[in-house]
Amino acid sequence: MKMNEKCSFTKGQSVKDEKKKMTEKNLMQKLIIFDCDGVLVDSEIIANRIDAELLTQHGYPLTTEECIKRFTGMSDQSVKQMILEESGLEISENFSESAILQAFENELIPLMLPVLHAVSEHNIERCVASNSLKKRIIHALELTKQIQFFKKEHIFTSAQVQRGKPAPDLFLFAADQMGYAPKDCLVIEDSVAGIQAAYEAGMDTIAFLGGGHTSFEWYKERIKIHNVPIAYDSTEIWTMIEGYMK
């Protein structure tokens, strides 16, 4: 190198620093799509318990476990239609919403705080895509101190598309709104419906089995047959995210 040529590194800068910058640049070219219920917050076990109690009171007897087995990952509209076809019982889409939100106040806990801190520190783009109502998602994230990691316009719901999960519409819509191709998206999901939706959308998926509703062996087996990576806690999730981003 000639004496008058400028070095590509400023004084005190190392090759390691430059590699770190390049790594962070690559991370910013990927999008993580988080489901909410059962991924960001441990809400599925709460919501299914209340749904089971209220449906039983209305003449459609269910246990919490049966409710999880049948309805986890489904949109409220799909659940309503299934119950109507099976029993003739017509319920409103949000029949249990107020009771669930009240229970959240005392019971809801976060599941992804360490991951969200790490994702934020590495400037990785992220959003939420959920079959739940937007007001429930925002309320849940506020209660668990996780709302700070998401812009409200980056919270997408099945109300914005024609079909919720297990159709791919919601994930494709979220990716499009965020400006990413499906191949550059990583979905974090806890349900079969969500995993199927991500697969149909052409996106990579990590199954997260850290929520209370995933403790049943039959639930784990349902997820395992889809042959996607499985994480059981936030530490494992972050390790897998780092591996995906490289």
Structure confidence by residue, pLDDT tens digits, 15-68: 445 444 444 444 458 999 999 999 999 999 999 999 999 999 989 999 999 999
User: Does 221 lie in the same domain as 169?
Assistant: yes
Longest dimension (CA), the chain: 86
- Residue that finishes a domain, picked among 81, 105, 129: 105
- pLDDT of res. 22: 40
Strands of 31-34's sheet, edge to edge?
Answer: 155-157, 125-130, 31-34, 185-189, 204-208, 230-231
User: Does 228 lie in the same domain as 137?
Assistant: yes
Q: 97 lies in which domain range?
A: 45-105
Q: What percent of the chain has pLDDT over 70?
A: 88
- pLDDT of res. 21: 46
User: Does 150 lie in the same domain as 55?
Assistant: no
- Residue that finishes a domain, picked among 105, 124, 150: 105
- Residue that finishes a domain, picked among 77, 105, 133: 105
Q: How far apart are CA 83 and CA 87, in angstroms?
A: 6
> Is residue 68 situated within a structural domain?
yes
Mean local confidence (pLDDT), 192-214:
97
Q: What is the CATH number of the domain that holds 157?
A: 3.40.50.1000
User: Does 148 lie in the same domain as 59?
Assistant: no
Pairing of strands 31-34, 185-189: parallel
User: Does 61 lie in the same domain as 116?
Assistant: no
pLDDT band, residue 168 (cuts 50/70/90): very high
pLDDT digits (tens, 9 = 90+) for 60-105: 999 999 999 998 877 777 888 889 898 888 887 778 889 999 999 9
| Cβ neighbours around 125 below 10 Å, total | 18
> Is residue 5 situated within a structural domain?
no
> Is residue 13 situated within a structural domain?
no
- pLDDT of res. 29: 84
Q: What percent of the chain has pLDDT over 90?
A: 74
User: Does 144 lie in the same domain as 36?
Assistant: yes
Q: How far apart are CA 164 and CA 161, in angstroms?
A: 7
Mean local confidence (pLDDT), 105-123:
97
> Is residue 1 situated within a structural domain?
no
Higher-scoring residue by pLDDT: 10, 179: 179
> Is residue 89 situated within a structural domain?
yes
> Is residue 2 situated within a structural domain?
no
- pLDDT of res. 19: 42
| Average pLDDT score, the chain | 88
- pLDDT of res. 184: 97
> Is residue 190 situated within a structural domain?
yes
User: Does 223 lie in the same domain as 140?
Assistant: yes
Q: How far apart are CA 44 and CA 145, in angstroms?
A: 18
User: Does 151 lie in the same domain as 134?
Assistant: yes
User: Does 237 lie in the same domain as 119?
Assistant: yes
- pLDDT of res. 5: 40
Mean local confidence (pLDDT), 147-160:
97
End-to-end CA distance of the chain: 32
User: Does 238 lie in the same domain as 210?
Assistant: yes
pLDDT band, residue 205 (cuts 50/70/90): very high
> Is residue 141 situated within a structural domain?
yes
**Those residues with Cβ within 8 angstroms of residue 74's Cβ, 6 or more apart along the chain or in another chain:** 82, 131, 164, 165, 193
- pLDDT of res. 28: 58
Q: What is the CATH number of the domain that holds 98?
A: 1.10.150
User: Does 168 lie in the same domain as 156?
Assistant: yes
Mean local confidence (pLDDT), 142-168:
96
pTM as predicted: 0.84
User: Does 167 lie in the same domain as 212?
Assistant: yes
Number of domains in the chain: 2
